[in-house]
Every structure is written in C-alpha cells, then in structure tokens.
Structure 1
Amino acid sequence: MYISISKQHLGNNFSQSSSDFVNYLEKENEGLLPDNQEQFFDQHNDKIPPEQVVQEIDGNTAKLKKVEPKFYSLTINPSQSELKAINNDPEQLKKYVREVMKDYAASFHRDQPVTVDDIKYFAKIEHERTFKGFDREIRENQPYRAQIVRLENDIRKVERGEITGNTTAMHNKIEKLKSEIPHKIAGVPVEQGMKKPGYQTHVHIIVSRKDISNRYSLSPGSKYMESSSKLNGKMIKRGFNRNLFYVRAENTFDTLFNYKRNFVETYEARKSYIKDPQQYFAHLLGLPTNERSAAFKILGKAGVQVPQVNIPTNKVQLALKTIKQFKKAMDVARSSSSIGI
C-alpha cells in the first residue's frame, strides 16, 4: 500500500480553486454512459456531482491566505496483490477509504480529538494508469527507440539523396531492434501513454484544509509532527503524525480484509530501507524461508532484480557489495511508478 499526501499548487502558487483538479479526475468518465461512470463519494454519501465537490471545497477556505494551500490531495495506491485480495472490487475499496479517513482524522494532534466527521473530503476511484517517462519500462526501452528513430531518419535521408547507405540493412536493423526491445504488451513495445496491464485501481481524495465547520485548520502538510506550543500563554497541541497514519492505514487494510502482509510490503520496511539499507537487508534475509521466498517474488514483480550471488545469512557477515547492488535495484523500483512494494 502506497499513500501519498500533497498540497495542490501550480509552480510557486497554490490553486485558489479545486476546479482544475476535479476536472482532471473526471478524465476517465469521458465517453462513458452515466451508469458506467465513477462518481465522487464522501464518508456518508455516494454519487456526488463534481460541481458540488468544487463548490464545497472552494467554499471552505475561510481566513486562508493566497500563499496557503486550500486543499490537499491524498492518493491511495493499493498494490496488485492487495487489489487481488479484494477481487479489485470498487465497493470494497470504497469501504476501505472510509475506514482510512478515520485513521487520517485520528492522526491529527489536537487538544480535542479529531474525528472523520470533522473532515471535509471527497474521493474518487480510478481504474487505469498509463506509462510515464520515469517508469522503468519506458527508460529501459528508450535506448532501443532512440536507435530506431535514428535509423528511420537515416533511411529518409538516403531516399532524399542527402547521404549514402544501405536502406535494406537499415530496415533489417530496425526489425532486429524491435524484436530485442525488452518491454512489450501483446507484442507491442511499451511507450508513454500506453495503459498499464493488470489491476491499476487507485483512489484520489480531495481534502479541505479547513475542518467541516470552516473554523479550524487541519493541515497534514504541517512541518510539525506531534508537538505542543504556547499560544496566548496557553500550551496547545498541533501537528499531524504521518508515520502513525501510514501504519494505521496499512493495519486497517490487513484487519478489514484479513490480508497477510509480507515484510517488504510494509511501510516500516520501506522506511527502514531508506534510513538503513543494511538493516533492511539483514531483516529480509532473516525472514523464515517461505516468507523470504515470497518477499523476493514480490520484489521481482516490482522490477527489483535481486542480486544472484551467494548471500550470507549471518548479519555480521553481510557483504557490502551485495547490499549496494540490492540498494541500486531498489532505487530503480522506487523511482518508477511501480507501487507493489
């Protein structure tokens, strides 16, 4: 499970209206009959029209300055394994979102507990993702595409008499490159804008910066974690605990759907990898054989090429070279849009 929280802005300026973002989230509904369209929903209501979403988010910004975000975007990205566990059922995912927003509310550090009914949000399920330039498949196909484009240009130059060359040999080279290009779908080389295969269902959530009463600021993007400060001589609680939210959201999915989460799928594992790759690797190798095998399988599906070397199981004897190889492979997977780990 990968969950992101971001403020919505254009360049250095924050969006003053949610309309552009809402319109963007309507892209999958284009050309579909009303009964086949995905609608916005909140904690208690389904089939909320986009016009209402814009009106309510834009109307809930009392006393916010132009340089402050008016709303935040949460994206919930279940892995294909997690989607498989719920049969890619949008109703089950909707049920999960409503539980996650309870976790979101509870992660605010305030004098009075924040509940989900204090949060103004609207969510929308999407079913498709497309390949982008930073995806591993696009990057690994790029050298082949570059050679093909260069050869095609050379063929046109030969035909115009600008250069000399054997166009038959060039055509043969192009066909060879097309056959060798590493990533294809149904025989067609993967390129930007192509739809990704398999389950790609995910959720976008628009969350107002202000609470539902339009009186209090609830910012998950606060630079403060859980802390207290003095205001008018009185100590007050402030902040949002992202770590707590991510862990709770993960546990909620596991509890709700009886999901058996592997070590490499956990938020704590991803955090450990970033802070201390050696500790992450040591933990990975210390898993029981069946769990370790499953972990490597999950990593492989996410695009991580596990080093094919003799890996010592003793933590003291961990080979630094192997760890560096593994870290490099993990960095490749993390920089792509693969969210399976």
Structure 2
Amino acid sequence: MYITITPQKLGGNYSQSSAGFVSYLEKENEGVAEGAKEHFFNQYEDAITPEKVVKEIDNNTTKLKKKEPKFYSITVSPSKYELKRLQNSSKDLQKYTRDLMKDYVACFNREIDGRPINIDDIKYYAKIEHSRNFKGTDRQVRENQPYATKILELKSEVRKIETGLMQGSIEKREKQIEKLEARAPHRQDGKRIVQGMLKAGNQSHIHIIVSRKDASNSVSLSPGSKYKASEVNFNGKTVKRGFDRDRFFEKAEKTFDKTFGYQRNFVETYTARKEFIKNPNYYFTALMGLPANEKALAFKLIRESGIPMMPSIPTSQAQLALKIFNRLKKGVAVAVKSSSIGI
C-alpha cells in the first residue's frame, strides 16, 4: 500500500479553491449512468455532491494566507494483492477510509479545548476511483522511453519520405519500428506501455480531500507539519503541535490488515521501505532471514513493483541501496528459482 499526503499547490501559491481538484476527481463519472457513479462521502454521509464538497472546503479557510495550504490531498493506493482481499471494492474501501481517518486524527499531537482531537473535529471528503493511467514517472513508461523516442523519430522519417522531403526506404524504417516495438521491455495486452494508457486489472484507490482547518474553522491542523510531537509556548500558553506521519502510515497498514485479514509480507511494510533507504544492510539481512515461502513472495513483489524506495530520498543513499540490491539479487534469484515454492 502506498499513501501520499500532499498540499495542492499551483506555482508559488497554494490553490485558493478546491474546485479544480474536485472536478478532476469527477472525471471517472463522465458518461457513466447515475447508478454506477462513485460519489463523494465523509464519515457519516454518502452520495455528497461535488458542489457541496467545494463549498464546505472553500468556506473553511479562515485566517489562512495565500502561501498556506487550504486543504490536503491524501491518496491511498492498495496493491493488487491487497485488493484481492476485498469482497466489494467500493463498499470495503469506503469502510476502510472511515477507519483510516480515525487513525489520521489519532496521529495529531493537538488538543481542542483541552481534549485530544477526534474524528468529528476534521472536515474531509473522500472518493473511490477504479481506474488509473500510466504516468510519465511510472517505471514502465520511463524504461520504454528510449524505444518510444526512436520509434517517433523513425515515424517522422517515414512521413518525410512519403511527402518527398527526404530520401530513403520506408520499408526499412517500418521493419526497424517493428523490431523496436518488440524489444520494448514493458507491454500490456500485447502493446507497448505508453504514457496515458489505462492500467489493466483492479486499480481501485482512494482520494481524500481534508481541510487544513478543523470543522469549527478555528484550529489549524496540518499533516504537513515537520514536528512529530512537541510543545511550544504561545502567548504564555503551552500548546501541543505536530503530526506523526510514520505512525499514520504504520497504523494505516495495521487497520487494513485487521479489517480484511491480510497477511502483509515484510517488503510490503512501510517500515521495510524506510529501512531499505536508511539501513540497507539491515533490510537485506531481514529479507534473507524470512521463511522460504515469505522470501519467495518477497522477491516476486520486488520484481513486480521495482525497488521499494520512498519518495524524496537523497540520490546518494538510493544509489548505495541500489548497488547492494543488485549485488545480492543475483545470488538470491538463483535460490528462489531453484526452490520448489510455487507462487
């Protein structure tokens, strides 16, 4: 499972309205029959209109400056293995979202009127989506790009030859294009994966819009705070502050596993992904120490999803971890391949 928490930013300033983001999240409903549409929901209500979401979020921004986020976007992307545990993607993910947002508020080191914040203190709206497109940043698209670039060049040459702007063999270039198409490392349904292509399989995921201000529009609650848990003196009064992201990500996994009876592999955990970067030797020691079945599954997961790296990691550390991974992968691949374990 991958979870991101981001402020919606345009250029140097943050979005002053949620309208654009809400409109973007409505894209899957275009041309869909009313009964099949996915609607916004919150902790207690279903089928909330986009207009109400925009109004509630945009009117809950008292005293926030232009350079401060008005709302945050939380995206929750379960893996295909996690999604297999669901009986009904929409209903199950809606239930999980409501439990997840209880985990979210529990990770704030804040108080309102002398008590810890609770689920009723936040204003959020969520929506389930079931499709995804390949982005330019996806590994498959990036690794296919050199082939795509050369194919584009050859097609351009074919058009020039056809219009008399260039001399050469069209047949030769078409054969080169055919070979490049076949050599591209990543394909889906027989076609080279390109940016914008719909991803196959169950792609259900969750988008959550959460207001920066609490439900009373008086207290600022920022999951982007750099403070995990601390206290500060403000106008002669001790005030708690901070949001523990690590705790939130870990609680999110545990809640999913408990709710759906999911047996999480070591390499799927947020803790393991952090260790991969911070302490690669420990990561691989733990990986090699897994029971045979779990180890085989772990390497299958790694092969399918790529190196489990966290975002915003210093390049030098990532390169170090990658070197260690490549060195160990060769020996381990032989062991996994020679085992009698079927996955």
The higher relative CO (CA closer than 8 Å, separation ≥ 6) is in: 1
> How far off its partner does 1:274 sit?
1.8
1:144 aligns with 2:147: yes
The percent of aligned pairs where both chains have the same amino acid is 54
User: Aligned partners of 1:321, 1:221: CA distance in 2, in Å?
Assistant: 29
Contact 2:90-2:128 within 8 A present in 1 as well: yes
Distance of aligned partners of 1:10 and 1:197 in 2 relative to their CA distance in 1, 3 Å threshold: same
Mark the CA change 1:321 to 1:243 in structure 2 (over 3 Å): closer, same or farther.
closer
What code does the residue aligned with 2:20 have? D
Alignment of 1:47-126 (within 5 A): 47-87=47-87, 89-111=89-111, 112-126=115-129
Counterparts of 1:157-196 in structure 2 under 5 Å?
Answer: 157-196=160-199
Distance 1:152 1:69 in 2: 45
In the TM superposition, what are the counterparts of 1:247-262 in structure 2 within 5 Å? 247-262=250-265
Q: What is the DSSP-based 3-state SS (H/G/I as helix, E as strand, rest coil) of the residue aligned with 1:200? A: coil
Cα deviation digits, residues 196-220 of structure 1 (max 9, x gap): 0111111110101111111111111
Q: What's the offset of the Cα at 1:324?
A: 4.8
SS at match of 2:84: helix
Q: Which residue of 1 aligns with 2:207?
A: 204
Change in CA separation of 1:295 and 1:164 when aligned onto 2, cut-off 3 Å: same
177-186 vs 241-250, greater mean Cα deviation:
177-186
Gaps (5+ residues) in structure 2?
A: 309-320, 331-343
Q: Which moved more, 1:61-70 or 1:202-211?
A: 61-70
Q: Deviations along 1:217-258, whole A, 9 cap, x unmatched?
A: 111111221001112223221111111111111111111111
Q: 1:322 to 1:143 in 2, by over 3 A?
A: closer
Counterpart amino acid of residue 174 in structure 2: H
User: Which runs of structure 2 are paired with 1:1-341 in the superposition (5 Å)?
Assistant: 1-87=1-87, 89-111=89-111, 112-304=115-307, 323-325=324-326
Provide the C-alpha distance between the structure 1 equivalents of 2:175 and 2:54, rounded to a whole number of angstroms. 55
Q: 1:194 to 1:328 in 2, by over 3 A?
A: farther
| 1:19-55 deviation line (CA, Å, top 9, x unaligned) | 1111111011111111111000000010000100011
Deviations 1:263-298 (A, max 9, x none): 001011011112112211111111111111111111
Residues 164 and 262 of structure 1, relative CA distance in 2, 3 Å threshold: same
How far has the Cα of 1:160 moved from its partner? 4.1
> What is the identity, as a one-letter code, of the residue corresponding to 1:21?
F
1:277 and 1:327 in contact (8 A); partners too? no
CA distance in 2, matches of 1:88, 1:137: 29
* Inter-partner Cα distance in structure 2 for 1:326 and 1:65: 50
Q: TM-score, normalised by structure 2?
A: 0.87
SS at match of 1:67: coil
Query: Distance between the aligned counterparts of 1:58 and 1:322, measured in 2?
Result: 47
RMSD: 2.2
Q: Distance in 1 between matches of 2:161 and 2:73?
A: 52
Structure 1 window deviating more from structure 2 (163-172 vs 113-122): it is: 163-172
Amino acid at match of 2:46: D
Q: State the TM-score, normalizing by the size of structure 1.
A: 0.87
